[in-house]
Amino acid sequence: MKLKLTKVGEPFLFEFSNSNGNSLKIDAASVIGGGGNEFRPMELLAGSLASCMAIDVLHILRKQRISPKQFAVDIQASRTEGVPSPFDSIVLTIQVSSEIDKSQLERNIRLSLEKYCSVAASLSKDIQIETNIQHIS
């Protein structure tokens, strides 16, 4: 995996790109002088976990020949106080259309976080990952 991060603006504005030519802006929090208007590093970290889990879950459902009409993940994360300030808790609320069985989905989520998801396996074991399921119409 080859990626590039390039400073494109003062004082902390970056462009991040992958080998497919995708790019996105990353900035620091305004409290340390960043613009505060772009994605921040810790947001990308939380998004990487949620998307890894979501892809796994949809992949397992697909093998079970199930395709939810709607699927979204609401992500709430909290950080420890002090410096550094890693995540101590990430709560992933899976919002899925009501035709999907909750207990089957729950099993798939657990399979992802415990067996398949490489982002989860790259994170500190001190981070508590909690999941919920919400049926949406």
Q: Give the footprint of its own copies on residues 28-47 (CB under 8 A).
A: 28, 32-34, 36-47
Contact predicate 61/69, CB 8 Å: no
- Distance, in Å, from the CA atom of 23 to the CA atom of 44, rounded to the nearest integer, reads 13
Q: Contacting its own copies (CB under 8 A), which of 100, 105, 109, 117?
A: 117
Q: Give the footprint of its own copies on residues 75-114 (CB under 8 A).
A: 75-79, 83-87
Q: Contacting its own copies (CB under 8 A), which of 66, 103, 106, 118?
A: 118
* Least distance in angstroms from the C-beta of 28 to its own copies: 5
Phi, psi of 105 (to 5 degrees): -65, -40
Phi, psi of 80 (to 5 degrees): -70, 155
* Least distance in angstroms from the C-beta of 82 to its own copies: 10
Interaction between residue 50 and its own copies (CB under 8 A): yes
Q: How far, CA to CA in Å, does 95 sit from each of 2, 6, 28, 102?
A: 33, 35, 30, 11
Contact predicate 93/74, CB 8 Å: yes
Interaction between residue 5 and its own copies (CB under 8 A): yes
* Least distance in angstroms from the C-beta of 48 to its own copies: 4
Q: Give the footprint of its own copies on residues 60-79 (CB under 8 A).
A: 62, 67-68, 70-79
* CA geometry: angle 44, 135, 75, nearest 5 deg: 15
* Least distance in angstroms from the C-beta of 110 to its own copies: 14
